[in-house]
Amino acid sequence: MSEGKKELSSEMHSLFIETIPEKKILVDKERNLYEIIPKHRLFTVYIGKFFEQKRGLHNVFQQLREAKEEDYLVLRINSGGGLILEGQQFYNVIQEKFYNRVIAYLDNYGYSMGALLFCMANKRVAYKYSDFMFHNYSSGIVGKGGEIKDRFKHTNKKLKQFFKEIIVKNGFLTKKEFKQLLLGKDFWMDTKELCKRGIATHVIIEGKEITAKEYLEKYS
């Protein structure tokens, strides 16, 4: 590991922290105007299954919560999903420490909680063969009769609102489609569909990163 970089891994995810030095970008040669990008840290998390059983995510989240307001979070997602409550911890740290400073790469698939995490970023980058799927949550409850009923009602209400905020509020599914999702329909999408719906904002192809609009115009 080179100087300025640090690695920290959990059972299912890996975190890399890199310090990026200050950079000057020429924006107007005639007027000699530069954009200054200050020194910052880049927190990159490789996302696997949301199912930590051994070490947990305490060390990863502790490092993420040390981020400053100039730092950025990069999520590289290759995940079939897993525990929603674990995924919600990522949602919490995004809201707390990286709001509007998150870039996600669908590298190479995101299903279930992996799909929701991709949608939490403000810049969302897919590849030519990225794969994606929304579906409703799966759950099991054990306990006394009355407790099961109350807990189901509470959990269903909370998770329905969580899904709706991420999927419907951003326009990724219509209200009609969301009702179908709640009834058990799976929504599978390729890169073109992700671009059409605005889920992917950019695509990396042929060595370049282009906008979703440019991708659809060139490759549809």
- 68-114, pLDDT tens digit by residue? 999 999 999 999 999 999 999 999 999 999 999 999 999 999 999 99
Going by pLDDT thresholds of 50, 70 and 90, the confidence category of residue 213 is: very high
What local confidence, expressed as pLDDT, does residue 2 receive?
Answer: 39
Beta-carbon contacts of residue 33 (< 8 Å; ≥ 6 apart): 26, 27
Question: In the predicted model, is pLDDT for residue 12 greater than 50?
Answer: yes
> 5-135+186-219 has which fold?
2-enoyl-CoA Hydratase; Chain A, domain 1 (3.90.226)
3-state secondary structure of 45: strand
- Is the sign of the CA dihedral 78, 218, 199, 102 positive or negative? positive
CA distance 116 to 134: 8
User: Phi and psi for 12 in degrees, rounded to 5?
Assistant: -115, -15
To the nearest whole percent, how much of the chain has pLDDT over 70? 95
Q: Which two tokens stand for residue 7?
A: 């690695």
Kindly list the distances between the CA atom of residue 132 and the CA atoms of 97, 125, 155, 181, 182, in Å, as whole numbers in the listed order: 26, 12, 25, 14, 17
Q: How is the chain split into domains, by residue range?
A: 5-135+186-219, 141-185
Question: In the predicted model, is pLDDT for residue 4 greater than 80?
Answer: no
User: Phi and psi for 11 in degrees, rounded to 5?
Assistant: -65, -40
Q: What is the pLDDT of residues 134-146, one digit of tens each?
A: 999 886 666 777 7
